[in-house]
Amino acid sequence: MSDLHFYNSYTRQKEKFESITPGYAGLYVCGPTVSGESHLGHARPYITFDVVQRYLKHLGYKVRYVRNITDAGHFEEEGRDAIDKVGEKAKLEKLEPMEMVHKYTSLFHHGMRLFNCEEPAIEPTATGHIVEQISMIQTIIEKGYAYEVNGSVYFDVKKYAQGYPYGKLSGRILEDQLETTRELDGQDEKRNKVDFALWKSAPPEHIQRWISPWGEGFPGWHIECSAMSSKYLGETFDIHGGGMDLMFPHHESEIAQSTIAHGHPPVRYWMHNNMITINGKKMGKSYNNVIKLSELFSGNHPILEQAYHPMVVRFYILQTHYRSTLDFGNEALQGSERALRRLWEAYDVLKKLSHPGTTEPKDENLDRQVSAWIAEFNDFMNDDFNTAKVIANMFELAPVINGMKGGQIAGGALSLATFTLLQENFKLFIEDILGLQPLAVAQSNKLDGIISVLIEIRADAKKRKDFATSDEIRNKLLKAGITLKDEKDGSVSYSLD
């Protein structure tokens, strides 16, 4: 089997993955800012890195997956202006940061569960690590790469750039930055516009504030990730992930801060997922084209023709390589829904199939082909987590599976060994690694009993050639969202929408 390779955004090439501590892998992913409800765009990184994390585990790594919650900083919430203008009114009418943070964190977790994203090992919050952040800022000041102005602390990017490759990750040149911004920036407290805040002095009306050596204030956006990732994963860790839009300034700043504070770069491999677009434009607040997760799942949005199941969204995302943009569209989502249904049905069939136990395949070519498709599951994942190709192979296997059930393919066409391999690996990849689930959740026993009764009545009617009655039962059940299928062997199966 080949080794895991994936694209390192820092070096801009695919590299073989070698963890710092053999057998262990550290993964840090920038989590959400919980000042608003998560949207479809947020689903991409968390699903992408959930699969990364699952696959690393499959390869035998003991994974520590850390994903933060950004609950400190300069929050903007819908309606915040109105609330702030109320100013000195009753306490209950004021925005309580903890309340908002709690609400959106809960919603985020709910969304993650629906997407079947496994929980990170550690989910640190920025507000819970103020001490660590202050300490790191102090170190940077001591080393001479940060300065204080009016209670705020800024990182001296220009000085840093003299000794370190600032801009390498995001591919920008400091000189350009300085030139394009200099004239706009006469009155700022920063020495250069490119400098970024490590700590911000809080104006009196700012509600989130902590005591620091520089007065009351709150941490800058970038420092939290550096402080928390180094605390839980070490000063140098394996993989840092996040959306491409975070490369600059966020990730670039993280590198600079950590490099000064710890004396070496923080991350071995940088991974960035691409954006989800809608009508070709990135989904984001500034474009006013956001589809929130709750809207997506309920279909309650002008752009949406229907509601979409979380698993359809997960499948849709995994059908595309994580480094490509993914354009949202109703037709595409609907296609994914049908595709996932078909795939899952084949998987269900496979689980129930039995094998005659013959060790020699009756159809050597098919046996060889099936073995190859299965072997490729690993190869594709090892090549930059190509979930799209894994899924394509599953669709190659689906007709084989269905054919074995339908009789188009003979019972012992595959050897017992290949058949077993197929069963094991299909489960492994579709459930454990891609993390997919069936669309219709397990029906209750009672419902099962009721439908069985109806199926019996219908079978009686059919026996009497009373097709009017049998069709009526089937059609009415269909309207209720239950599809009956007359199987070739005379049995009847059903599925829920």
Q: Which of residues 226-255 bind RNA (CB under 7 A)?
A: 242-250
Q: Are 495 and 483 in contact (CB under 8 A)?
A: yes
Q: Are strands 326-328 and 276-278 parallel, antiparallel or unpaired?
A: parallel
Q: Does 438 bind RNA (CB under 7 A)?
A: no
Distance in Å, CB of 389 to RNA, minimum: 4
Q: Does 354 bind RNA (CB under 7 A)?
A: no
- Amino acid in position 380: F
Q: Are 269 and 15 in contact (CB under 8 A)?
A: yes
Choose, by CB under 7 A, the member of 399, 417, 448, 497 that binds RNA. Answer: 399
Which tokens belong to 424?
């094991």
Angle between helices 445-463 and 467-479 (to 10 degrees): 150
Size of the site for RNA (CB under 7 A): 85
Q: Are 126 and 73 in contact (CB under 8 A)?
A: yes
Choose, by CB under 7 A, the member of 77, 123, 189, 327 that binds RNA. Answer: 327
Q: Does 83 bind RNA (CB under 7 A)?
A: no
- Amino acid in position 293: L
Closer Cβ to RNA, 288 or 445, answer by number: 288
Binding window for RNA (CB under 7 A); candidates: 146-154, 355-363, 434-442, 464-472: 464-472
Distance in Å, CB of 90 to RNA, minimum: 29
Q: What is the DSSP string of 51-70?
A: HHHHHHHHTT-EEEEEE-BB
- Amino acid in position 33: T
Closer Cβ to RNA, 19 or 318, answer by number: 318
Q: Are 233 and 121 in contact (CB under 8 A)?
A: no
Q: Are 35 and 221 in contact (CB under 8 A)?
A: no
Q: Does 440 bind RNA (CB under 7 A)?
A: no
Q: Does 471 bind RNA (CB under 7 A)?
A: yes
Q: Does 262 bind RNA (CB under 7 A)?
A: no
Distance in Å, CB of 483 to RNA, minimum: 5
Choose, by CB under 7 A, the member of 408, 420, 452, 491 that binds RNA. Answer: 408
What does DSSP assign to residue 131? H
Distance in Å, CB of 159 to RNA, minimum: 18
Q: Does 320 bind RNA (CB under 7 A)?
A: yes
Q: Does 273 bind RNA (CB under 7 A)?
A: yes
Which tokens belong to 53?
């994390």
Binding window for RNA (CB under 7 A); candidates: 83-91, 103-111, 226-234, 465-473: 465-473
Could you list the beta-strand ranges (E) of 84-210: 146-149, 152-155, 196-201
* Phi, psi values for residue 210, rounded to 5°: -135, 150
Choose, by CB under 7 A, the member of 4, 112, 398, 434 that binds RNA. Answer: 398
Choose, by CB under 7 A, the member of 77, 118, 123, 345 that binds RNA. Answer: 345
Binding window for RNA (CB under 7 A); candidates: 57-65, 94-102, 143-151, 340-348: 340-348
Distance in Å, CB of 322 to RNA, minimum: 8
Q: Are 54 and 435 in contact (CB under 8 A)?
A: yes
Choose, by CB under 7 A, the member of 403, 411, 431, 440 that binds RNA. Answer: 403
Q: Does 324 bind RNA (CB under 7 A)?
A: yes
Q: Does 336 bind RNA (CB under 7 A)?
A: yes
Residue 434: how many other CB atoms lie within 10 Å: 24
> How far apart are the C-alpha atoms of 190 and 252, rounded to whole Å?
18
Distance in Å, CB of 439 to RNA, minimum: 13
Residue 445: how many other CB atoms lie within 10 Å: 8
Choose, by CB under 7 A, the member of 332, 353, 375, 496 that binds RNA. Answer: 332
Closer Cβ to RNA, 130 or 223, answer by number: 223
The footprint of RNA on residues 29-48 (CB under 7 A) is 30, 32-33, 41-42, 44-45
The footprint of RNA on residues 142-171 (CB under 7 A) is 170-171
Could you list the beta-strand ranges (E) of 45-145: 62-67
Distance in Å, CB of 60 to RNA, minimum: 24
Residue 258 region by backbone torsions, left for phi larger than 0, else alpha for psi between -120 and 50, else beta? alpha
Closer Cβ to RNA, 19 or 48, answer by number: 48
Which run of H or E residues covers position 482? strand 482-486
Give the x-and-dash track for 93-112 against RNA (CB under 7 A).
--------------------
> How far apart are the C-alpha atoms of 114 and 36, rounded to whole Å?
18
> How far apart are the C-alpha atoms of 134 and 87, rounded to whole Å?
29
Closer Cβ to RNA, 81 or 142, answer by number: 81
The footprint of RNA on residues 178-197 (CB under 7 A) is 180-181, 193, 196
What does DSSP assign to residue 215? S
